[in-house]
Amino acid sequence: MFNLLKKINYKPEPFEFYSADLLWTDEHTVQKMLSYHLNDAIEASSRGSTFIDKSVDWICSYFKVSNETQIADFGCGPGLYSQRLSAKGANVTGIDFSKNSLEYAKKQALENNLSINYVYANYLDYELTDKYDLICLIFCDYCALSPAQRAILLKKFRSMLKPNGKVLLDVHSLNMFTILEEKASYEFNYLDNFWSADDYYCFINNFKYEDQKVGLDKYTIIERDTIKVVYNWLQYFNPTALEKEFIEAGFTNMKLFKNVAGEDYDESHTEFAIVAE
Ligand SMILES: C[S@@+](CC[C@H](N)C(=O)[O-])C[C@H]1O[C@@H](n2cnc3c(N)ncnc32)[C@H](O)[C@@H]1O
């Protein structure tokens, strides 16, 4: 018991473990995730539809989207952006490693007579050979990646862009980091059986890495016969740190916004978005 509690409360090195697949591809949690994506009242997996409509309108106008425009939507989930962008005439490729979300996305595309190329893949490994005018990574997914993974992804983006092609992504700001607190708790069947249909105890350890500006929500899920640990890392950025990563990957002409709906950059906000060429 003592040793188990020690393991549960162990604070790993920043990004020591990557378990995004447990969060996004586990057979049970994917069902829960999809329901969150599609529930306007829960902004846990996607933003609400009013915001997404506004965001897509801005993307189409800012990037002058036409039926010549090739867009890659990384981490497209159930296709909430892909579908809207395709309806506006863009040629869209959506990449995701949640089979469940992609199945939903494909069904929606079929029902709405939209031709969208959905690719089932881990975007950190997968090589897309086509070239794009715009690559999106929306809902702060960039923050879940380690510095090494982010460098790989930006290099990949750069190789996939047409001349003058652009990347649009959003991140958590340091305003969010400041209010983080280290704490530990546990709960029976935490989040309404989010982690399993069977009974479990979930230990929740929130860790903060002051120097690296990283936060970790570590979940230790203890069922009758199994234990699994899920690490939800988040890197928090100030504009200079984010721009530095883009510059190192060979991008230029960075522009900051409050969000992916193109509102003016607001330094007091908990997130911000970047466009880089
Ligand atoms: C927070 S959701 C955002 C979905 C969508 N961009 C939106 O805003 O509605 C993150 C999505 O990225 C996917 N994802 C996370 N890491 C991934 C990876 N390494 N490869 C492919 N998909 C990934 C998840 O399956 C999930 O659908």
Full residue range of the structural domain in which residue 189 is found: 2-27+176-234
The CA-atom distances, in angstroms, between 201 and each of 153, 161, 189 are 35, 46, 6
Sign of the torsion formed by the C-alpha atoms of 12, 186, 25 and 44: negative
Q: Establish if 35 belongs to a structural domain.
A: no
C-beta atoms surrounding 68 within 10 Å: 10
Are 229 and 240 part of one and the same domain? no
- The tens digit of pLDDT for each residue in 115-154 reads 999 999 999 998 878 999 999 999 999 999 999 999 999 9
- The tens digit of pLDDT for each residue in 195-231 reads 999 999 999 999 999 999 999 999 999 999 999 999 9
User: From ligand 1's centre to the CA of 4, what distance in Å?
Assistant: 31
User: From ligand 1's centre to the CA of 168, what distance in Å?
Assistant: 15
Are 197 and 226 part of one and the same domain? yes
The atom of ligand 1 lying closest to the CA of 44 is: 1
Q: Whose CA is nearest to atom 19 of ligand 1?
A: 122
pLDDT at 267 (0 to 100): 95
Q: Establish if 33 belongs to a structural domain.
A: no
Are 193 and 230 part of one and the same domain? yes
User: From ligand 1's centre to the CA of 242, what distance in Å?
Assistant: 20
User: From ligand 1's centre to the CA of 176, what distance in Å?
Assistant: 21
The atom of ligand 1 lying closest to the CA of 124 is: 19
Are 23 and 75 part of one and the same domain? no
pLDDT at 114 (0 to 100): 98
Are 181 and 203 part of one and the same domain? yes
pLDDT < 50: residue spans in the chain = none
pLDDT at 128 (0 to 100): 78
Q: Establish if 257 belongs to a structural domain.
A: yes
pLDDT at 26 (0 to 100): 81
Mutate to test the pocket of ligand 1, among 26, 101, 141, 157 (most ligand atoms within 8 A of CB): 141
Q: How many domains does the chain have?
A: 2
Are 8 and 94 part of one and the same domain? no
Q: Establish if 131 belongs to a structural domain.
A: yes
Are 182 and 167 part of one and the same domain? no
pLDDT at 29 (0 to 100): 85
Q: Establish if 36 belongs to a structural domain.
A: no
Nearest to 76 by CA among 156, 2, 141: 141
Are 133 and 253 part of one and the same domain? yes
Q: What is the DSSP string of the chain?
A: -HHHHHHHT--PPTT----HHHHHH-HHHHHHHHHHHT-TT--SSS--HHHHHHHHHHHHHHTT--TT-EEEEET-TTTHHHHHHHHTT-EEEEEES-HHHHHHHHHHHHHTT---EEEES-TTT----S-EEEEEE-SSGGGGS-HHHHHHHHHHHHHHEEEEEEEEEEEEEHHHHHT---EEEEEETHHHHTS-SS--EEEEEEEEETTTTEEEEEEEEE-SS-EEEEEEEEEEE-HHHHHHHHHHTT----EEESSTT-PBP-TTSSEEEEEE-
Mutate to test the pocket of ligand 1, among 29, 33, 76 (most ligand atoms within 8 A of CB): 76
User: From ligand 1's centre to the CA of 162, what distance in Å?
Assistant: 23
Q: Are 154 and 251 in contact (CB under 8 A)?
A: yes
User: From ligand 1's centre to the CA of 152, what distance in Å?
Assistant: 17
91: domain CATH number is 3.40.50.150
Nearest to 86 by CA among 98, 69, 104, 107: 69
Instruction: Return d(Cα 94, Cα 135) in angstroms, integer.
Output: 10
Mutate to test the pocket of ligand 1, among 26, 32, 59, 98 (most ligand atoms within 8 A of CB): 98
Are 128 and 205 part of one and the same domain? no
Q: Whose CA is nearest to atom 11 of ligand 1?
A: 75
List the beta bridge partners of residue 227. Answer: 222
Q: Establish if 180 belongs to a structural domain.
A: yes
Are 81 and 213 part of one and the same domain? no
- Here the tokens at position 136 are 């999106």
Burial 259-274 (b: 16+ CB within 10 A, else e): bbbbeeeeeeeebbbb
Q: Establish if 106 belongs to a structural domain.
A: yes
Helix orientation angle between 147-160 and 239-248, rounded to the nearest 10 degrees:
60
Helix orientation angle between 80-87 and 49-62, rounded to the nearest 10 degrees:
50
Are 156 and 186 part of one and the same domain? no
Q: Are 84 and 52 in contact (CB under 8 A)?
A: yes
The CA-atom distances, in angstroms, between 15 and each of 98, 208, 211 are 22, 12, 13
Q: Whose CA is nearest to atom 20 of ligand 1?
A: 122
Are 219 and 256 part of one and the same domain? no
Q: Establish if 37 belongs to a structural domain.
A: no
Residues with CB under 6 A from ligand 1: 20, 24, 45-46, 75-77, 80, 95-98, 101, 122-124, 138-139, 141
